Amino acid sequence: MERMNTLGVKTRPLIVSEIRKDFPIFNQHDGKKLFFLDSAASSQKPVQVLQAMDHYYSTTHANVHRGVYHIAEHATELYEGARATIGRFVGAPNPSRETIFTKNATESINLLSNSLTRGTLKKGDVVVLTEMEHHANLVPWLMAKEQFGIEIRYIMVDENGYLDLQNIDELLQNAKILSVSLTSNVLGTINPIRRLADLAHEHGAIAIGDGAQYVPHLSTNVTDLGLDFLAFTGHKMLGPTGIGVLWGKSELLESLPPFMGGGDMITDVRLDGFTPNELPWKFEAGTPPIAEAIGLAAAVDYLENLGMDAIRDHELELLSYAFESLESNFGKDLVIHGPRNVNDRGGVISFDFKNIHPHDISQVLDQSGVCVRAGHHCAKPLMRHLGIAATARASFHIYNDRSDVDALVDALAKARAFFG
Amino acid sequence: MERMNTLGVKTRPLIVSEIRKDFPIFNQHDGKKLFFLDSAASSQKPVQVLQAMDHYYSTTHANVHRGVYHIAEHATELYEGARATIGRFVGAPNPSRETIFTKNATESINLLSNSLTRGTLKKGDVVVLTEMEHHANLVPWLMAKEQFGIEIRYIMVDENGYLDLQNIDELLQNAKILSVSLTSNVLGTINPIRRLADLAHEHGAIAIGDGAQYVPHLSTNVTDLGLDFLAFTGHKMLGPTGIGVLWGKSELLESLPPFMGGGDMITDVRLDGFTPNELPWKFEAGTPPIAEAIGLAAAVDYLENLGMDAIRDHELELLSYAFESLESNFGKDLVIHGPRNVNDRGGVISFDFKNIHPHDISQVLDQSGVCVRAGHHCAKPLMRHLGIAATARASFHIYNDRSDVDALVDALAKARAFFG
Amino acid sequence: MPGLEDLYREIILDHYKNPRNEGIFPTPPALKAEGHNPLCGDELTVYLLLEGDVIKDIRITGQGCSISRSSASLMSVAVKGKTLQEVDRLLKIFKSMMSISTNSSGEAEVVDPVEYSERELGELIALQGVVKFPVRIKCATLSWNTLVQALEDRAS
Amino acid sequence: MPGLEDLYREIILDHYKNPRNEGIFPTPPALKAEGHNPLCGDELTVYLLLEGDVIKDIRITGQGCSISRSSASLMSVAVKGKTLQEVDRLLKIFKSMMSISTNSSGEAEVVDPVEYSERELGELIALQGVVKFPVRIKCATLSWNTLVQALEDRAS
Ligand SMILES: Cc1ncc(COP(=O)(O)O)c(C=O)c1O
Ligand SMILES: Cc1ncc(COP(=O)(O)O)c(C=O)c1O
């Protein structure tokens, strides 16, 4: 069975009941169903990913890059093969050189803020961010500001949860860097990244994308998006913890000084200095997350096998269903933050519910096996903008279907009865 | 059966045949025995470690620290519990506050070089290292030198592979930091860390230990060692890749500025600045290596169950056997680097063999299933000191026994016949 | 898994819906301290009117979940009119009740176990069930920590 | 798993034990370039004496494993007396022979496959087996890359 997605591309619909069989966490035999609606914080892992790592550890583990013996050689091939797979997944023109493994998206952005500031920026140079950024795309720049005196400007968020681009040309005046999330982890807003990147380039600025919430859910091509750098993280895209990715244009990566120093990132070390290695190793100091890279490549295979367009279609369908269902059940008692048009959103729904504190919502929902996140979602400036301290947030991935939304609605009804 | 170790402590000898059953890589059914003598590069993993991670992913995975629902709460408990276990393993007085998870030992040292230089050091301040350091404990300081103009001095290595401490007081004059490996990954030398740390303190300097090759093999107590900071890495101590550790004294950690910025390491973020979090989270930006911490805690349990003193006894016994066996078989054809006294060594044997290039040695050995490392072992300055470009290196862990040494000797004899 | 009724006792819901001693006092004469829970964004401000070593009156404002709000309200009732010594004893008892081997953040907040009778705790005992929900302990202790801070600021 | 004899052909061992064209030339008139393999520490220096566009003579010094030393020796024999065009053709053929889909470092060194006859390769064909040991490819290509560097330095 095929259907057309919004782009007119045929996709095979996800069969969630089959998908859930691949995820051990949904097959625990304690008799309680798990309604996991917190994939924006971290996704669950299919058995294929766990097996890829176990198989690696059980047959081939050795440190990479320096061994002549066959398991070390094979480990290196698997690690570098994972790099190529993951680079290709985001459309990297030169996946083997431009894909850098870090420990999470946060390190990817710190690498950039550190290397770019030391390598390119001077006191007073301007970095443009947005009010809806995750702390991962705020604090590294605030630290660079403290240390080097750069100036930070913010694109504000309008009342519908979109970026307010009225004064964008003014903001980009003399900017050296624009760094923006592709999808907001709170509002769900999918930002017009191509347009922003083009504008940045017109002003001579570098365009950085925080793809932590985008890459796991939508087909990604760094060239089409017009980006110079893209950061994302393994654990939100069915991969293991302990691994993140930075993709960057070769010319730019080549021009930057290294971030951390140590083994593998050098070609020579003397008592008085060192010579950095070639790309991508220049940015990978010490023993890398080998098993994690292999696990993430297995996750990418899993996602590609389902098809990123099919995944997007599935999430759009769920989003629409959730919007309708929440509205018809709770009307004005429940306020969803962010764009009304689901096509402008990732699979993330942050909401306020009847003055019930998000902690209490989450607690009551947990009693019904419904997992939602409650808090500031590492976006305190955005929270201030919204005038609240916290929200509850439900988010989807491939293993969710309407039954999760129904469970959410039922549990919310219980919470209302309890605190009402 | 018990025996006395050098300290007069009774230890239970390791039963290697039983231990090997726990390591899937030694139980592959391709009919070839694996003689893995490269644990100094990275150790193999017991099934207990793999199962701890799989069990976590299969039952409890969720992002830590922010979730109210029960699996997130349980994930947080497991993660923080792992921290306490690992901190206690190295004798941290306050394991829950002083144990910081990084991605590897290299990041741990970069964290220090970065935060200490920004926080404490000024141009011209002196950092004392040694000529035998791994690049992980050289390049971060060389980078700090480039950026901040600190001065680096080196303790030299004498002809027997020991640190030359004759001019140590001179070297420590005005020093702010001393950073030294506890065990050399090339020479095997176990350095007199307590004495060095005391001397550093007398001169008002901070004492940092690189325990990457020590913690996996010897009972470690940071207080007894007199250290202010200790860096080590998971994958060399039966743990997974993707995790490293930094232990530090609370007062010092508190006085340092954070290294990377992002989620979890803050208590507040505003558009114009941020407030760092308390210890240990202040130094953990973004989603941490959750499963990896849990895996490393399982590895620590495994090691403690065998007993670190028993492990040390086992390695000493193997070292002695290897020294004798290599000598009696190859005489002057084979030159072992580092101390002659096995009591001063970790389970690492670097050697030159009859002018046969280490690459060729490793290649021929691989044909017999014997895995040794060949190269500069990320210690180029030491290699220059030794006047060679590379060595072959055999190293031990708990799953090795005399049969590994015998296989090494047999394979070396073959190499000699081949290239002789 | 412990049930909701362990956490949300009737007294708690009552104090949540009808918080006692809500409001502010001008400073001076009142002592004031702000507390916040960085993980969830909860914020509380505590105002104290001292007379000698007696807490003559107390006001609390802020935003937070049912546990942090009701705990603040319960605390305000419990400490009003008490001497600082009595408050100190209550604090120790409360912390002792809230202490578990590892709390959710794994903090080894060393709390000396204190012997106490239920009578001493009064209505505060309604918060006992929070211990079964480690993440929420910080919610319950926020107001007490803020109170301590207000008193400490005065001391210095 | 490929066997040792795939790698260590007799010709290779011969060139390893008796390297041809070992030594140095004064510079100038000789061109000179240093190459090294950072992963294993191998170092080579290549000296070239050109006459017009012919490599009149060549010397090589350095340290390295049997593969890198014998490859250098084999190269020196192969290029001596050849025109730069002929050398360029040999280089392309050699690189093509050494190319595999991913080498051990995963570098996507894009090498255009070249059609060639075994006759063109001559003794160099002894290095064919190296392809089965991806880690060693860098050893075999080090001398060729250093040669290219020497010629490029001249061009600039
Ligand atoms: C002495 C020493 N220090 C530091 C390291 C770095 O460890 P990692 O690569 O895990 O960061 C190593 C291992 O390679 C080592 O042997
Ligand atoms: C938009 C966004 N950016 C960055 C991050 C940071 O990812 P990580 O914690 O894996 O570094 C997250 C997730 O927490 C996120 O949602």
The domain that holds C121 is classified in CATH as 3.90.1010.10
Count of C-beta atoms within a 10 Å radius of residue B332: 7
Q: What is the pLDDT of residue C7?
A: 87
Q: In what order do the strands lie in the sheet with A244-248?
A: A99-102, A244-248, A229-233, A206-210, A175-181, A126-130, A151-155
Determine which one of A75, A82, A180, A378 is catalytic: A378
Which ligand gives the minimal distance to the CA of A65? 1
Q: What is the pLDDT of residue B6?
A: 55
Kindly state the helix (H) or strand (E) to which residue B210 belongs, with its residue range.
strand B206-210
The answer to whether residues C37 and C63 touch, using CB atoms and an 8 Å cutoff, is no
Q: Is the pLDDT of residue B2 over 60?
A: no
| Pocket of ligand 2 contains residue B286 by CB under 6 Å | yes
Token pair for B387: 């006047």
Number of structural domains (chain B) is: 2
Q: What is the pLDDT of residue C112?
A: 66
Three-class SS state of B97: helix
Q: What is the pLDDT of residue D103?
A: 41
In tens, the pLDDT along C122-142 reads 899 999 899 888 888 989 999
Domain boundary (A304, A333, A362) is at: A304
State ipTM. Answer: 0.92
The answer to whether residues C121 and C144 touch, using CB atoms and an 8 Å cutoff, is no
B355 or A291: which leads in pLDDT? A291
The dihedral built from the CA positions of residue B226, B285, C44 and C138, taken in this order, carries a sign that is: negative
Residue B143 lies in a domain: yes
Size of chain A in residues:
420
B348 and B237, same domain (yes or no): no
Whether D44 and chain B come into contact, CB under 8 Å, resolves to no
Whether D13 and chain B come into contact, CB under 8 Å, resolves to yes
Q: What is the pLDDT of residue D121?
A: 86
Domain boundary (A280, A304, A328) is at: A304
Side chain identity, residue B71 = I
Q: From residue A286, give the alpha-carbon distance in Å to each of A250, A290, D125.
A: 21, 11, 37
Number of structural domains (chain D) is: 1
What is the extent of the structural domain holding B273? 50-304
In tens, the pLDDT along A354-387 reads 989 999 999 999 999 999 999 999 999 999 999 9
Q: How many alpha carbons lie under 13 Å from residue D142 in its C-beta half-sphere?
A: 32
B288 and B365, same domain (yes or no): no
A279 and A401, same domain (yes or no): no
A239 and A277, same domain (yes or no): yes
Q: What is the pLDDT of residue A389?
A: 87
Q: Is D20 exposed, middle or buried (0-12, 13-18, 19+ CB in 10 A)?
A: middle
Touch between chain D and chain C: 3 or more Cβ pairs under 8 Å: no
Count of C-beta atoms within a 10 Å radius of residue B331: 8
**DSSP letters of A362-404?**
HHHHHHTTEE-EEE-TT-HHHHHHHT-S-EEEEE--TT--HHH
Residue A38 lies in a domain: no
Q: What is the pLDDT of residue D7?
A: 87
Q: Is B321 exposed, middle or buried (0-12, 13-18, 19+ CB in 10 A)?
A: middle
A101 and A249, same domain (yes or no): yes
Count of C-beta atoms within a 10 Å radius of residue A297: 23
What pTM value is reported for the model?
0.94
Q: Is B141 exposed, middle or buried (0-12, 13-18, 19+ CB in 10 A)?
A: buried
A171 and A225, same domain (yes or no): yes
Kindly state the helix (H) or strand (E) to which residue B89 belongs, with its residue range.
helix B70-89
- Could you tell me if residue B91 is left (phi over 0), alpha (psi between -120 and 50 degrees) or otherwise beta? left
CB contact under 8 A, A269 and B45: no
Closest CA to A98 of A264, A252, A266: A252
- CATH code at position B386: 3.90.1150.10
Look-up of token digits 């995963």: D106
The answer to whether residues A150 and A205 touch, using CB atoms and an 8 Å cutoff, is no
Q: What is the largest CA-CA distance in chain D?
A: 47
Q: B186: CA distance to ligand 1 center in Å?
A: 11
Residue A286 lies in a domain: yes
Q: A375: CA distance to ligand 2 center in Å?
A: 15
Residue A37 lies in a domain: no
Whether D39 and chain B come into contact, CB under 8 Å, resolves to yes
Chain C residues within an 8 Å CB radius of B266: 38
Which ligand gives the minimal distance to the CA of A284? 1
Q: What is the pLDDT of residue B43?
A: 98
Chain B residues bordering chain C (beta-carbon distance below 8 Å): 65-68, 70, 73, 76-77, 79-81, 83-84, 94-97, 266-268, 277
B23 and B80, same domain (yes or no): no
The answer to whether residues A363 and C136 touch, using CB atoms and an 8 Å cutoff, is yes
Chain B residues within an 8 Å CB radius of D45: none
Lowest mean pLDDT among A335-344, B405-414, C4-13, D32-41: D32-41
A380 and A249, same domain (yes or no): no
Question: What's the CA gap between A239 and A294, in Å, rounded?
Answer: 9
Minimum Cα–Cα distance from B268: chain C residue? C38
- Could you tell me if residue C62 is left (phi over 0), alpha (psi between -120 and 50 degrees) or otherwise beta? left
A55 and A198, same domain (yes or no): yes
Minimum Cα–Cα distance from B420: chain D residue? D17
CB contact under 8 A, D134 and A81: no
A67 and A170, same domain (yes or no): yes
Residues linked to residue A229 through DSSP beta bridges, in sequence order: A208, A248
B312 and B166, same domain (yes or no): no
What is the extent of the structural domain holding D62? 4-155
Residues linked to residue A38 through DSSP beta bridges, in sequence order: A395
In tens, the pLDDT along B46-59 reads 999 999 999 999 99
Q: Is the pLDDT of residue A215 over 80?
A: yes
- Mean pLDDT across B356-364: 93
Q: In what order do the strands lie in the sheet with A391-395?
A: A334-336, A348-353, A391-395, A373-375
Kindly state the helix (H) or strand (E) to which residue B73 belongs, with its residue range.
helix B70-89
Q: How many alpha carbons lie under 13 Å from residue A386 in its C-beta half-sphere?
A: 24
Question: What's the CA gap between B12 and A413, in Å, rounded?
Answer: 60
The answer to whether residues C126 and C48 touch, using CB atoms and an 8 Å cutoff, is no
**DSSP letters of A182-206?**
SB-TTT-BB--HHHHHHHHHHTT-E
Count of C-beta atoms within a 10 Å radius of residue A347: 28
The answer to whether residues B414 and B373 touch, using CB atoms and an 8 Å cutoff, is no
Domain boundary (B254, B274, B304) is at: B304
Q: From residue A83, give the alpha-carbon distance in Å to each of A96, A406, B96, D7.
A: 6, 39, 35, 28
Q: How many alpha carbons lie under 13 Å from residue B120 in its C-beta half-sphere?
A: 20
Residue A40 lies in a domain: no
Q: What is the pLDDT of residue D102?
A: 40
- CATH code at position B182: 3.40.640.10
Q: B105: CA distance to ligand 1 center in Å?
A: 6
Question: What's the CA gap between B22 and B47, in Å, rounded?
Answer: 6
> Which of C16, C39, C43 minimises the CB distance to A375?
C39
C18 or D109: which leads in pLDDT? C18
A24 and A114, same domain (yes or no): no
Q: Is the pLDDT of residue C106 over 50?
A: no
